[in-house]
Amino acid sequence: MVVLMLERVPASLRGEISRWMIEPRTGVFVGKLSGMVRDKLWEKAIKSARGGAGMLIYSSKTEQGFSIRTFGDISRETVNMEGLWLVRRATS
């Protein structure tokens, strides 16, 4: 399972991602992808974001069963503490 959340990105990027994944809410994409397709879509999102931000959550062999990647200025901060992912609101 793969969850990709995009903030402040062009509609054209969201359209491209929606070819591979469903978009149940604006900017939130869900799908079951191979690792190669997941990585290619992630690279595409980073290159086409135009100042936007993104978070990728995908299944992996960790204690929690998933890993997280981020780029840009996201509204949530991810912290890896001793192999466990935690998410908190970014403070201003």
The pLDDT averaged over each successive group of 10 residues in the chain (92 residues) is: 95 95 96 96 95 94 92 83 83 62
Contact at 8 Å (CB) between 22 and 53? no
Q: Which residue intervals of 2-91 are DSSP H helices?
A: 11-17, 35-48
Can you give the pLDDT at residue 90?
66
Contact at 8 Å (CB) between 13 and 45? yes
Contact at 8 Å (CB) between 7 and 52? yes
Domains for the chain: give ranges and CATH numbers.
2-89 (3.30.70.240)
